[in-house]
Structure formats: C-alpha cells, structure tokens
Structure 1
Amino acid sequence: MSGTARIEISAVSHRFTDKPVLREITATLTERRIAIIGANGSGKSTFSRLLNGLLVPDRGRVTVDGLDTARDIKAVRRKVGFVFQNPDNQIVFPTVAEDLAFGLKGLGLGRAEREEKVGQMLARFGLEALAAQSAHKLSGGQKQMLAIAGVLITAPSCVVFDEPTTALDLRNARRIAEVISGLDETAIVVSHDLDLISDFDRVLVFDEGRIVADDTPGPAIAHYLRLMQ
C-alpha cells in the first residue's frame, strides 16, 4: 500500500469537555512532506490524531483517499501510520524482532514472508544486531527507530510523526531527520524543531485551534516566530 495519500479535512471542529480545541479546520493534504507547528495548546497534536482516526471530530469530516475516519477506521489505519512522541507507547512485545512481527499480525502472510519483512526492516534501520534484545532496554534513538520500523512494516501510504526528535540527542535527531527525508511515503510531522522542517514542501501553523498560516517553510516559520514574540 505504499505511495502517497490524499487527506481531506472538511469543516472540522473538536473539543475536550467544554474546551474548543479545533475550530472549523478545512484543508487538503497532498504534499510529500508537511509540517505542523504551533505553540503548546494550539491544537496541532489533536489535529494530527484526527488524520488516522485516533480521534474522530465532533463536527466535520476527515477522509483519507476517500475513506472516512469515522466509518472506515481499519482501512484508514492501514493507509496512515502514527509514530508517537514516546516510542514506549507503541512498543508492545519483549524483543525487537517480535515487536516488528506484531505489526504484520492479521495481514494473512505466511511465516517465511513475515520473517523476510522483519529481516528487511531490521537491516533498513540498523537493528539487526539487536533483533533478540529486549525492546524496552534500547536507547532512546534505537526505540524511536524501532517505532518507525514497526509502522513502516505494514506499508502505509502516509506516516504521521508526533514530535519525533523531542527527546533525542543531536546525533539521533539527525538520524530521524534522514529517515523522514528518505521516505517514499507521505510524511506529516508535528514538531517544534524548525531545522527539521526547513526543507519541507508545506508548513501549517496552528494558533488557538485554527490554521493561521499555510505556506512553504520560509513564510510559515516567519509567521510562527512572530506569534511567539
């Protein structure tokens, strides 16, 4: 299912209890690299979770290649993977290889094909020597690589990253940036790391639940920096 995705957000609003978090958001996402930036509490993380059905909007509609996130949740999540800020939130099985294999559960693959795909991902992300090691004893950078590999092994069309470099040192942050840059899939990245997104195709700036700038990185980041003054 690799390739790119078309995500349409139509008049979407969302609230938690009585607090509005998103207000009448409309956008069509088709570019290969899209960043989402904004202050804490601006609505950007909530918006990102709408893109693969982790949240369903209170009002409005989100579709991925025509599939409605409120009705077609399994098909949507096959198309849109999600990498959490804290990789421990998505590492499930004891060893690195077992955790990767878990992502293939339910896809109807034979044992040999599953093992082949796991081996390919271990090699791609430099995790071969760690295959039998405890997944939860990896370094922060290794855990993030495993989390990304665990999403990509299912061949989504799009991957949403929630603050993928926040807890990493410079070396590992650069490695994650290289991974994102090299993806064939659509990448939608929520981040405060302005260097990470400086060469993206498009940047959405959120403020108080609305998109207040939607442009290439230069103008969009300039708008964001003015908001932060």
Structure 2
Amino acid sequence: MDQGITFQDVTYRRQDRLILRGISLSLTARRIGVIGRNGSGKTTLLRLMAGLVAPSSGQIRLDGLDPAADRRAMLDRVGILFQNPDHQILFPTVEEELAFGLRQQGASATEAAAEVATLLQAEGRSHWAKALVASLSHGQKQWLCLMAVLLMRPATLLLDEPFAALDLPTQARLARRLAVLPQRIVTISHDPDAVAAADHLVWIEGGEVARQGRPADVLPAFRAEMARLGDADADTDLSH
C-alpha cells in the first residue's frame, strides 16, 4: 500500500560532520522535487530514502518500511538513478546490465533474458543487446540505467540531478519519458527549472528544510536567496 515517504526528526552524520539535522517530512505527492545548493545535503536525503545509508538518529519510512533495514523489500519498491551513470553500471554489455536487477528479484536467467529482449525490441534497440556499455554516449548510458530500473517495476523512482550532464535534445526526451511514468518520482536538483513542475517541493539548505510547499511558493524565495548569495560570493560555509 502506498503510504508515501516520511522522515521523523532525522539526523545524519558522516564521521564527525553533521550533514542533515532535524529533517521531518511527509511526502505523498506523485511528483516531488528536492532543491538546494551543491553540498546542502540533498543527495544524502535521497540516499536515505533509498536505504543506501541509515540515519544517525530519527526514523525513515517508505510505504511503511524502513529502507535501510528492509533492503530486500526495497528492490520492488524503489529505484534510484544517479547523476553519473558510470557510478551505477556494473556489467560490460547492455543485455547483462538490463538483466541484473531482474535476477536480483528472483527471475531465472531465461526469464530475465526474455524480458530484456522484449524491452529492447519495444524501444527499437534490439541491436544494442550485445553492445559494450563503454561504447554508449552519456545520454545512452543514462537511458540504459533508467530502463534497468524500470524493468524492476519499482513504485518510487529517485532521480539525482537527472538532467545535469545532458544536452538540450536529450533533456527534452528524458523529460517526456519521465512525465508519463506512473511511479512516484522524487527529483533532486540545484536547478529550479528541473523541479518547477513538481507537485511538492522541498528546499534543503545547510542540512535542514528551509521551506517546502508548491513550487510557486518555494522557488521565488529560493531564487532570491541564491541571487543574494551570488552577490555576496557566500560559498565558504560549505567547505567547513
């Protein structure tokens, strides 16, 4: 049952550095954006949602489950797309990469291969099956990672700066693809335009929730603060 994503007074420390503190959120919208400066803690927030790291204190639930404690259950519930696909890809060929998640979910080698072949045919990329991943462009690698995640049919997708390294035509194609997906999608970005169409927006600043609500209510304040910081050249606080 879809119960959304909740954070209750979550703190996260990495060694002696406090990355997030006092995060309390209840996220049930279909399209959620998380915005903030580089180093603000937004990627850590996404990793906590995915269960890749556990909070230092507080509680996180995704559809009622603890993502860090119930990693097996998360295979069917949440998929994550990293900013750099090279950090995500594990196998040398396209078909091997696409099949991996299905195998993790319990599909046999034959079943996984059949699903991969069906997907590639539907996408007009059957000739990619034996292709080396290293031969793909950045945008093609990102498509591969997205398809590998979607084959696992997660209820929630977590996207880390999905448009950052793409040219404009590839951004437009990815945006169209994401817009029609039935999953809940959480997109993190430093770019207001990337999250302007979200149903709910969370602004993370200095490891805390600065503001949340509709983009029309959050983005003007975010833009004004970014302009102020730009005028002041105020970036030294992130290096502490």
Calculate the TM-score normalised by the size of structure 2: 0.88
| CA deviation string 1:60-96 (max 9, x = no partner) | 0111111112321221243111111110111111111
| 3-state secondary structure, aligned to 1:195 | helix
1:11 aligns to 2:9 (yes or no): yes
Tell me if the contact between 1:162 and 1:189 (Cα under 8 Å) persists in the aligned partners.
Answer: yes
After superposition, the CA RMSD in angstroms is: 1.7
Deviation at 1:124, TM superposition (A): 5.1
**Equivalent residue number for residue 223 of structure 1:** 221
Going from structure 1 to structure 2, the CA distance change for 1:70 and 1:137 (only over 3 Å counts) comes to same
In structure 2, the partner of 1:78 is 76
Show the counterpart of 2:145: 147
Deviation at 1:194, TM superposition (A): 2.4
Deviation sequence 1:170-218 (CA, Å, 0-9, x none): 1111111112111111110011232232211111111111111111112
2:176 aligns with: 178
Name the residue aligned to 2:102: 104
For 1:18-33, what aligned pairs fall within 5 Å after superposition?
18-33=16-31
Q: Which amino acid aligns with 1:46?
A: T
- Which residue number corresponds to residue 46 of structure 1? 44
Instruction: Give the aligned residue type for 1:171.
Output: P
TM-score normalised by the chain length of structure 1: 0.92
Letter in 2 for 1:57: P
1:38 is matched by which residue type in structure 2?
G
Give unpaired runs (5+ residues) of structure 1.
Answer: none
Please give the alpha-carbon distance, in whole angstroms, between the structure 2 residues aligned to 1:136 and 1:201.
36
Any unmatched runs of 5+ in structure 2?
228-240
More helix by share: 2
Partners of 2:31 and 2:66 in 1: CA distance: 22
Corresponding residue number in structure 2 for 1:197: 195
Deviations 1:110-167 (A, max 9, x none): 4443233213432455533322211121011100000111111111110101011111
Residue 196 to residue 122, structure 1, CA distance change in 2 (3 Å): farther
Q: Give the Cα separation in 1 of the matches to 2:170 and 2:182.
A: 21
Cα distance in 2 for partners of 1:220, 1:124 equals 39
Report what 2:231 is aligned to.
none
2:58 corresponds in structure 1 to 60
SS in 2 for 1:78: coil
Identity rate of aligned residues, in percent? 38
User: 1:223: Cα distance to partner?
Assistant: 1.6
Q: Structure 1 stretch 93-102 or stretch 122-131: which is displaced more?
A: 122-131
Matches of 2:95 and 2:107 in 1, distance apart?
16
